[in-house]
Amino acid sequence: MTNASDQVTRFSDYRPPDFLIDHVDLDVSLHRTDTRVTAALTMRPNPSGQTSGSLVLDGDELTFVSARLDGRPLEPQEYEATPAFFRLHAAPDRPFILTIVTSVNPAANTKLMGLYRSGSAYCTQCEADGFRRIAYCLDRPDVLSTFITRIEADMKEAPLLLGNGDPGETGVLPGGERHFAVWNDPWPKPCYLFALVAGDLASVKRGYTTRSGRTVELGIHVEKGKENRCEWAMDSLIRSMQWDERVFGREYDLSVFNIVAVPDFNMGAMENKGLNIFNDKYILADPDTATDADYANIEAIIAHEYFHNWTGNRITCRDWFQLCLKEGLTVFRDQEFSSDERSRPIKRISDVIRLRSAQFVEDSGPLAHPVRPTEYREINNFYTATVYEKGAEIIRMLKTLIGADAFDRGMALYFERHDGQAATVEQFIACFAEASQKDLSEFFRWYEQAGTPIVRAREAYDIRSGAYSLTFAQHTPPTPGQADKKPVVIPIALGLLDGDGQPIIIDTDDACWSNGVYRLSEAEQTLIVRDIPSRPVASLLRGFSAPVRLDIDQSDDDLILLLKCDSDPFNRWQASQQLAIRILKRSVASLSNGEAAATGTSLAEALAQVTPNEATRDPAFAAYLLALPRDNDIAREIGVHIDPDIIHAARVHLRRDIAKTLASVLSDPLQAEQGVYSPDAKSAGQRAFRHAALSASVAASEGDRTSRATVEQFYRRADNLTDRHAALLAIHDQPGETRDDLFSEFESRYRNEPLVLDKWLALQATIPERDTLTRVRALMNHPIFSLATPNRVYALLMSFAQNNPREFHRPDGVGHAFVADMILELDQRNPQVAARLATSFRTWRILEPGRRASAQAALERLKSAARSRDVADIVSRTLA
């Protein structure tokens, strides 16, 4: 492990920068292997800083060429220049212009940070600290500068030149082979929001008029031949702009807004001011090459990046410890957008599934950290589910606790007070405290404490007096670096049902009860409700009102009543999941003892009763009711001595029980006529239910000849990728000729569509069979696969390691060894991608002893061999 992994940045050590950069004139002369960057930094000492006389600028793998101070060439003794920094020994105590010329090699940049090549284009990625790989700078988010960028390139290689801000002068250089474009960004921004793109791309443009009457030119730029797949992305962008004007009162502030889609990108997308850069899988869509899930993701991610224009760009972060200030808030905003555009209950269920599968696991393991961390070794490793998803849940709880009107006033105050600033979480929360006139100091603990709180609810009912009490006790388990936890403020949305499933009016004088929400802030509190004629059934955490684990002793009959009758859609789904987990736990215990698996009759019969009506009323909800918890979800709920083989067997058994019981209910959807494809939520829900029925038909018959024929017919009738992919998914765990033929046909059909073949790779990587590792190794030699392309790595290797626990955690240890080998190979090329793959080991401590020892051995090998700070940090924390 490198010594770099021991360099810790601490929140408590923050101090303002000693110098400020008010303006940057950047000249970038693009060449594949020797791009010349001239950065003229208009600087001044910071009155709030501690100027010592010397100035140190950040760099990373830069080649220094020359430097001038106020136009005068610097003498060698006046400065020190290395690939990692530039030091001016005696900086002026007045405003000055420091001009530095550097050289970078985009073609050799496999880290995909800074300036690099993607396909035939030049592009950039500067968050969190990539700008220092382009030019020496104060690479920190609290240094805000206006930018004028001149981009120069070969006209044939890069006829399109894009930068931040508004377009300015363009021209052709003498000789006619090279040209330039100037971009002027008048809004001060940190350098992590800098971007440029240059290439021979196809453009789709449309005009947009803001609510104040300003005209904005919208552009989406993609590889040639793919421009016909941008319609949904453009439509999503326009709807996002309209929604932000309507709901948050935020209007766009430049004359152009550009999006560029590139095939090589470490993340999903980047909100650079006026020039968003996207992983192309979150832009390109048509019915033949994108699934319903792809359409929904494109819609959400375009909204997310656009919403950053205000929550992230106009108001940015003082330091990277405040990352949740822009990401958690913007995730909340994009979730609200998707809820309004689609189905709020379905969106909430899907968000909670993601939260539990990613963030709850993170919060309960060695990588747990507060939403606002207190220290980090590598900031790239803190773009996590905790910062994003839990950060969004905190905003949602805040709105619940203070009310929608006060929340809106707080947001308006935040925009007004901190526009153009690098803000902190404290400043953000202060706006809501002022707007609501409430003390939010205890609520702030959500930002400071790691771990998922556990809320235990205990019921008592006095039949003589009709008094019903709910006693809530909360505690948060210890996490790395935080042994003792304080109570947090938890909004518990709840209702009560009588024995017929009818709602009961809650009559209480408790000051903590208001508008259907109980405010839990102490370690233990009791809510007493009067005049209840019979024992009620409690519906707690409606809408998943807080990111906590709920422990309540409810009978199977109680859960079935909630499933059938609760007015809250989320808790109806939650009841089905809770009952399934209960049955699966019994099965795992039985199978571990060599006994037969538990039966799922009670759940199956309840689902058989509710599914027909739900399939008509809301087929997407019906599909979610039929979806069992995944193997990883079951392991998370059990939590100790995990044997993935037994968990998988238990799930297969319950899935078969349910499918057989619902066979008659689910036969009709497979015969229904499928209309012309549309990506709207209603149509997508109908398809989702048909796919659930298809999967159930295979499970009920255990993959017999008839069900295989049904799947094959479904595949061949399909006129869209969503249905074709669903057919492969239905049969992907059924070995045999039908599966092989369909997978082969799919590959042949989409051989020239890398994004579609990513789904093909992922499906094969998650086959729960003992030869899957051999299959994965073979697929690494497929022409489509490359370790240099993050999308391919995520599709094949990440899918295997994170979504195929049975094979990744093989008892012979070869799955662990293989993934460790891949991490080390990637570490030499792209440390960020390698570090993401390394997080696959984060649950190793809950495995049974043999598998646990195997995983530990792989981690110890990684610890000794890791080269990058990214991987070393993940591995050291995972082992701690």
- Report the pLDDT value the prediction gives residue 847, as an integer from 0 to 100: 99
Residue 1 has pLDDT above 50, yes or no: no
- Expressed as residue numbers, the domain containing 832 is 750-880
Q: State what percent of residues in the chain have pLDDT above 70.
A: 99
Question: Does the N-terminal peptide bond of residue 128 adopt cis geometry, omega within 30 degrees of 0?
Answer: yes
Token digits of residue 89? 């020994």
- Other Cβ atoms less than 10 A from the Cβ of 729: the count is 18
- Is there a domain that residue 406 lies in? no
Beta strands in 224-270 (DSSP E): 256-262, 269-270
Token digits of residue 570? 């989320």
Using DSSP's 3-state secondary structure scheme, residue 95 falls into: coil
Of the residues 199, 221, 242, the one at which a domain ends: 199
Spatial distance between the Cα atoms of 650 and 359, rounded to a whole number of angstroms = 25
- Report the pLDDT value the prediction gives residue 4, as an integer from 0 to 100: 45
Question: Domain of 142: which CATH number?
Answer: 2.60.40.1730
Among 171, 172, 170, 198, which Cα is nearest to 184's?
A: 170
Token digits of residue 436? 């609501």
717: Cβ contacts below 8 Å, ≥ 6 apart: 674, 723
- Is there a domain that residue 184 lies in? yes
User: Could you tell me which residues are beta bridge partners of residue 422?
Assistant: 316
Q: At what angle do helices 569-592 and 344-354 cross, to 10 degrees?
A: 30
Mean pLDDT, rounded, for 151-157: 98
Give the pLDDT confidence of 50-97 residue by residue, as tens digits: 877 899 999 999 999 999 999 999 999 999 999 999 999 999 999 999
| H/E element, 475 | strand 467-475
- Is there a domain that residue 467 lies in? yes
- Other Cβ atoms less than 10 A from the Cβ of 627: the count is 18
- Is there a domain that residue 124 lies in? yes
180: Cβ contacts below 8 Å, ≥ 6 apart: 150, 151, 152, 153, 161, 169, 170, 171, 173
Amino acid at 307: F
Give the pLDDT confidence of 173-186 residue by residue, as tens digits: 999 999 999 999 99
Spatial distance between the Cα atoms of 32 and 17, rounded to a whole number of angstroms = 34
Spatial distance between the Cα atoms of 626 and 344, rounded to a whole number of angstroms = 19
Residue 629 has pLDDT above 90, yes or no: yes
Spatial distance between the Cα atoms of 244 and 269, rounded to a whole number of angstroms = 19
Spatial distance between the Cα atoms of 292 and 374, rounded to a whole number of angstroms = 39
Mean pLDDT, rounded, for 547-568: 98
The answer to whether the beta carbons of residues 354 and 389 sit under 8 Å apart is yes
- Report the pLDDT value the prediction gives residue 672, as an integer from 0 to 100: 74
Write down the residue that tokens 């009978």 correspond to. 555
- Is there a domain that residue 144 lies in? yes
Spatial distance between the Cα atoms of 640 and 643, rounded to a whole number of angstroms = 9
Residue 2 has pLDDT above 50, yes or no: no
The answer to whether the beta carbons of residues 563 and 530 sit under 8 Å apart is no
Using DSSP's 3-state secondary structure scheme, residue 450 falls into: coil
Q: Residue 366 carries which DSSP code?
A: T
Q: Starting at the earlier edge strand, list the strands of the sheet with 201-209.
A: 201-209, 215-223, 256-262, 275-279, 269-270
Give the pLDDT confidence of 709-726 residue by residue, as tens digits: 999 999 999 999 999 999
Residue 305 falls in the annotated catalytic set: yes
User: Dihedral, CA atoms, 664, 668, 669, 672, nearest 10 degrees?
Assistant: 170
The answer to whether the beta carbons of residues 385 and 359 sit under 8 Å apart is yes
The answer to whether the beta carbons of residues 672 and 714 sit under 8 Å apart is no
Of the residues 527, 556, 585, the one at which a domain ends: 556
CA 234 to chain CA centroid, nearest Å: 22
Q: What is the 3-state secondary structure (H, E, C) of 66-91?
A: EEEECCEECCHHHEEECCCEEEECCC
- Report the pLDDT value the prediction gives residue 702, as an integer from 0 to 100: 83
Beta strands in 330-450 (DSSP E): 375-376, 422-423
Radius of gyration of the chain (CA): 28
User: With 0-12 CB in 10 A as exposed, 13-18 as middle and 19+ as buried, what is 445?
Assistant: middle
DSSP β-ladder status, 422-423 and 316-317: parallel
Mean pLDDT, rounded, for 353-365: 98
723: Cβ contacts below 8 Å, ≥ 6 apart: 674, 687, 690, 691, 714, 715, 717
Least confident of 9-23, 41-55, 793-807: 41-55
Token digits of residue 759? 């789904």
Residues in the chain: 880
- Other Cβ atoms less than 10 A from the Cβ of 865: the count is 15
Spatial distance between the Cα atoms of 456 and 458, rounded to a whole number of angstroms = 7
Of the residues 167, 199, 231, the one at which a domain ends: 199
- Is there a domain that residue 270 lies in? no
The answer to whether the beta carbons of residues 346 and 624 sit under 8 Å apart is yes
Where residue 3 falls among pLDDT bands split at 50, 70, 90? Answer: very low
Give the pLDDT confidence of 191-240 residue by residue, as tens digits: 999 999 999 999 999 999 999 999 999 999 999 999 999 999 999 999 99
Residue 649 has pLDDT above 50, yes or no: yes
Token digits of residue 199? 């290439």
Question: Domain of 765: which CATH number?
Answer: 1.25.50.10
Domain tally for the chain?
A: 3
The answer to whether the beta carbons of residues 162 and 176 sit under 8 Å apart is no
Q: Residues 127, 305, 389, 614: which is the catalytic one?
A: 305
| H/E element, 22 | strand 19-29
For residues 590-609, one letter each, b for 16 or more C-beta atoms within 10 angstroms of the residue's C-beta and e for the rest, the string is bbeeeeebbebeebbebbbe
Backbone angles phi, psi at 690, to 5 degrees: -60, -40
User: With 0-12 CB in 10 A as exposed, 13-18 as middle and 19+ as buried, what is 769?
Assistant: middle
Give the pLDDT confidence of 798-842 residue by residue, as tens digits: 999 999 999 999 999 999 999 999 999 999 999 999 999 999 999
Residue 621 has pLDDT above 60, yes or no: yes
Count of H-run helices and E-run strands, the chain: 30, 33
Amino acid at 414: Y
Question: Domain of 479: which CATH number?
Answer: 2.60.40.1840
Give the pLDDT confidence of 407-418 residue by residue, as tens digits: 999 999 999 999
Mean pLDDT, rounded, for 303-308: 99
Q: State what percent of residues in the chain have pLDDT above 90.
A: 97
Token digits of residue 250? 């935020």
Mean pLDDT, rounded, for 242-270: 98
Mean pLDDT, rounded, for 686-702: 95
For residues 334-353, one letter each, b for 16 or more C-beta atoms within 10 angstroms of the residue's C-beta and e for the rest, the string is bbbbbeebbbbbbbbbbbbb
